[in-house]
Each structure stands twice: as C-alpha cells, then as structure tokens.
Chains A and B, each alone.
Chain A
Amino acid sequence: KAGVTQTPRYLIKTRGQQVTLSCSPISGHRSVSWYQQTPGQGLQFLFEYFSETQRNKGNFPGRFSGRQFSNSRSEMNVSTLELGDSALYLCASSLELPGLANTEAFFGQGTRLTVV
C-alpha cells in the first residue's frame, strides 16, 4: 500500500511569507503528527491530529498551525516565516494516537523548507 506522502518535497520562501505543507497519511490511518527537524536538534514535536481534532501541541509559537481534514489528510501552516524556520518538516501517520495506543508511526519523506 502507498506510504505517507508529503508535498512539496522542497520549498524556498522569503522571510515574512507564509507556507502550507501537506501530508497524506497511509490509507486507514487516522492520526497524523508533525515534527520539525533541524541539524543537531533531533525531531521536535509540533502537533498531533486525530479524527480532525488537534490532540497535542508542542512548544512552538502560534505562527505554526495545522489542521486535519475528514479524509485524514493534514496540512500545517507557518506564517510570517523567519530564517530559523528553515528545517525538514516531517509528518508521521498511525492508526491511532501513537502516544496513547502504542501503535506504529510511519514517516513521510519530509518537506525541506528553506527561508531566505
């Protein structure tokens, strides 16, 4: 079956702009989590959605937001981009909430965002 699909794969944006990233989970998966990965910082948790509801949120400013649609696809938005937002943004899909149900989480290839 198809894996987790993230689009676009690469993005270059200018400071102050906004960006929307998309994640299509594995068919049947209802949970989508988002992570920011920067060199030396590991995987920083952004937020987690299940059945169109945000169930958990990491320590990121309000410029970072997300949503999940009825078909489980998810988008994340970053407004007023800063240079420090340059990172690889990863989404992971799972059948249930991975933190609560101990289910496997599968990652997409990520979207590499560069802010100039």
Chain B
Amino acid sequence: GENVEQHPSTLSVQEGDSAVIKCTYSDSASNYFPWYKQELGKGPQLIIDIRSNVGEKKDQRIAVTLNKTAKHFSLHITETQPEDSAVYFCAAPSSKLTFGTGTRLQVTL
C-alpha cells in the first residue's frame, strides 16, 4: 500500500520567515497531492493541491512543488504569520487517500 513520510514533525519559525514541509510517497501511480491545514479543535481543511502534470503551484503565500521522479513534494509558506500556526498534513492517493504524520508549525512573534 501507499506510504507517505512527512518531515519535520515540528517546525518553529519567526513571523515573516519561510516554512518548508516535505513529503515523500511510495506509489508511483499517485498523481494528486493535497495539503491540509488543521487548526485546534477543527477538522483538516484543504489549502492547496497539485496534480502530476505540473511541477509547481502557487496561491498567494503558499506554494507546492512536486518532483515525480524523486517521489517527493513540498509545501512552502512565505512571510509566515501567527495564523499560519497549525498542523499541516500532506496526502497521496493510491487505493485510498493516505496522509503523512503531520507537521506542527509554530509561528512566533
């Protein structure tokens, strides 16, 4: 089955700095890679996704890059703000949607 590894498990950055979270996957058939943000007490919310026909996608301060050859994809958050503090999950589908173990991002003032 699909295996998704996510790093780091925790990440602390100062406000205004950039944050990068990386994921690797095992199923070469995967071609859709969503990222979710989970705030305290809430369910995960889709924030950005990328399909395998593109290598990068950007939406304001967040971007995702994909390297299908190496089977890894990354989430980039620029100019971080306190409201970016949350747990972020990557996912890759195979027979089901498999999630990474999550990254707790803390943006400090």
Binding site for B on A (CB under 8 A): 4, 6, 33, 35, 42-43, 45, 48, 56, 58, 90, 92, 97-100, 102, 104-110
Which A residues lie within 8 Å of B100 (CB)?
Answer: 42
Judge whether A56 and B44 touch: CB under 8 Å. no
Known: A42-B102, A43-B99. A102 touches B51 (CB 8 A): yes
Contacting pair B43 A110 (CB below 8 A): yes
Q: Contact check, B93 vs A98: say whether CB atoms are below 8 A apart.
A: yes
Chain B: residues with CB nearer than 8 A to chain A? 31-32, 34, 36, 41-46, 49, 51, 89, 93-102
Question: Are B34 and A105 in contact, CB atoms less than 8 angstroms apart?
Answer: yes
Cα–Cα distance between A100 and B95 once the two chains are bound (Å): 6
Q: How many A-B residue pairs have CB under 8 A?
A: 57
CB distance B46 to A106 under 8 Å? Answer: yes
Assembly CA distance A33 to B95 (angstroms): 12
* Cα separation A58 to B31 with both chains bound (whole Å): 22
- Chain A residues within an 8 Å CB radius of B96: 33, 45, 48, 56, 58, 97-99
Q: What is the chain A residue whose CB lies nearest that of B6?
A: A42
> 6 closest A-B pairs (Cβ-Cβ)?
A102-B32, A107-B43, A99-B96, A99-B93, A43-B99, A42-B101
Q: Say how far B48's CB is from chain A's closest CB, in angstroms.
A: 11
Instruction: Determine the chain A residues whose CB is within 8 A of the CB of B102 once the complex forms.
Output: 42-43
